[in-house]
Structure 1
Amino acid sequence: MVMQAVMKSLLQNQEAKPTSSIQFRPGQIFYGVIQKLFPNQHAEIQVGAKKLIAKLEVPLTNGKGYWLQVTSNDGAPKLKLLNTSTPFSQSESSSTSSLLQQLGLHSHKMNHSLIQFLRNENIPLTKEEIVRAAQLLPLANNVEDGLQTIKMMSDRKWPLNEGIFKSFLALGKDESTAQLLHSLRASLLLEKNPTNSGKEIVNLLQSWDSEDAEMVQYGREKTLNQLKQSLHRTGMFYENSLLDREINRESLTESIKPLLVRFLQETSQSNLSESKNIVEQLLFRMNGYQLVSSDNGPIHHLLFEFPIKLGQFQSEILMQWSGKRTSEGKINSDYCRVIFYLDLEHLKETVVDMNVQNRIVTVNIVNSSNILQKLSESLLPDVANGLKEIGYHLSSVNFKLPENLKQQDNKKSRYYSQQSYSGVDFRI
């Protein structure tokens, strides 16, 4: 699915950027190759593409690789050798087995994959963190997704706990928030003795459908209001709202996330129902968006997905905002970038990339149709006038085909659909 591919790409792009120098914490374990030997047991060690000068507890051989552990980080790091057998007599597999034994981990395929991944990606972790990573890996549907998630958590310095791990895994799954909500309602309707919160969830979802059915004409204001309403309905950031004294607490009952939290609180640990499983997946997915939306240096990122119904077509919008905040902590709307990933009934998969520089707006629209530009010509004056009304100037609107469609010579693409369409989904 396109959304799954987009999510994986966004998560990779939002990883913390590596620092220019290597910084270790005492206890961290890493794989390094001895490049040069100096007096007093100092050595230059290659770690991936970087090098450091460190003091070794025992003499090692120039040009050979070792698993090393940081014992002190005062001045030049002090390192001790972990795999005590000489590397001359060890293959990579036996070296990995030796390390696993010292860590108290079983020498099976998944743990071998973890150690080899840490080595290849130059990820330093403490013994406790490696053991925890080995416990988390079986929770992933496949090892590669689990390893990439561990890498991202390490890069961003998040603790290796089950909740964060499952939250990121949930973002990469095929089922969207809209699909999960649909499955949850169907499951709750089949339950013989639903909880009070289960009944409230069903009533809320049904009321949303009734409201959406009334909105069949889409003017600019109605579309904007529905977008705001759809985002509010998820309650994705409701924890922050609880800290806001001016927020209307009653409005929180109109969003789904607080009800999902209460549902789990009312459901016993021994209850392994389908509804409980779907609720957990929804909360992990919502929490995952919150985690990737956390501040990271001077540039801030917001990433969220919310269901939206356009006429009778149920879809979702994945939105990414990147930019700086003002000195008051508010979003700087003069300089930012907003990207919408849309799956529409007629236009199919579409990306709208809006870049704002000093309130001058440039828009790039990516879609598999080569006639979208012509279809949009009559709408562009309205777009320019609408932006002008709120103090922005439209510089240009560019239409592009997905790169992978060009490369595959118009064959069916993995990420974008080429199905023909007629009609327009909605006007902005």
Structure 2
Amino acid sequence: MTTPRDTPASRRVRANGDGTVYQRKDSRWEAAGYVLAPGNTRKRIRVYGTTRKEALAKLTEKVAASNRGLPVPSAQGSVAAYLTYWLENVAVHHLRENTHTRYAACVDQYLTPGLGKKRLTKITAKDVRTWLNQLRTTCQCCARGIDADRDQPRCCAAGACCSKRLSPLTLTYIHSVLKSALEHAVREEEIPRNVARNVRTGTPRPRRFEPLTTDEARRLLTTAQGHRLHALFELALHTGLRKGELLGLHWKDLDLGSGTAAIRRTLQRTSAGGLTTLPTKTRASERRIALPTRCIQSLKHHHEQQQREREAAGTTWQHNGHVFTTPQGRPIDPTNLTRTFTTLLSKASLRRIRFHDLRHSTATLLLEQGVELVVIKELLGHAHIGVTATVYANPRELHQTGEKLQVARSWQHPGRAPSSCSLAA
């Protein structure tokens, strides 16, 4: 009588559920078995090895993962195919249009050329790290053919590479887009893990900004006197509102009697809808702020000026309720406001800064006046006080004098709107 111990190893009968292992005609060994698949179903898979032990080890690994409740990956396409699917069917419903546009550009310029041909289920952390290292050291003029499209080549096409490399911030952004896409692939059980999370790009230095000093801020407002948008610049410097929040203000959002403004929306230009009114950047950005006396006076004067412009425009006036408009009543394009701001800086003989740096200037000037960080956080509409602390923890004058800022642990007056920046002479 033959016992299992007498049966050759290659022909022993395995227990039910262990799968099968046999040698193929091409001398390779094949192991097959059932594992957990997406949708809580079972799927038969096959693995191969040069020896019986190797094939069996691969099958055992997949069965063990299945027993832990981890489904076998089902994606068979390339990384490029999945990124296209993710942008068109997932990201488009969860991102703002401008953010989605930046994600799509990132995928088109960097992710697809670098990783697109790899199979989604085969990509490894080493692949991601190698690709990022290559991006870090490659001249973008050469890699993307930028110089070849110029009328007069001055870089790689002219035989003199300019070594225009990506900044650490850009590399971190590209890496974050890949992580977001692969994270969704994990949630959809297309891949078992997000390999991009195992790759560290380092912490880039935050972008440096040079806020206006008190004297510079006063000079800017003095130069803006008489400008039709003087109230906008006054409001920007005293309250730190974002450009889109300023342009999205409606008269119904203002209560000049009580001196408050409700921030409910933002105005942006999108590639699909043109000038579009959108919700605020975050839930915390939807807030009510206090208006200083100077801003209230400027807004009243601006309202009178707008009424005169409306009468002058007659039937061509386009009433939409916005506080800041063109002389014909239309919303102001953010790009046009940037041009106006740049011209104003030049007229005031001030260094060139971004419009958003007015927001940084507000926060820094408030800190220098001793305003608590939690108050500034409420005024600026940051979602977390950590954001405020990270960006504005070392303002210019406090760093020089060595003073210490006292940060309140809780907001003691929840019904009171945050104070605004004072630039009174």
State the TM-score bracket (shorter-chain normalisation).
under 0.3
The structure in which a higher percent of residues are strand is 1
Tell me the TM-score normalised to structure 2 length: 0.26
The structure in which a higher percent of residues are helix is 2
Structure exhibiting the larger radius of gyration computed from Cα positions: 2
Tell me the TM-score normalised to structure 1 length: 0.26
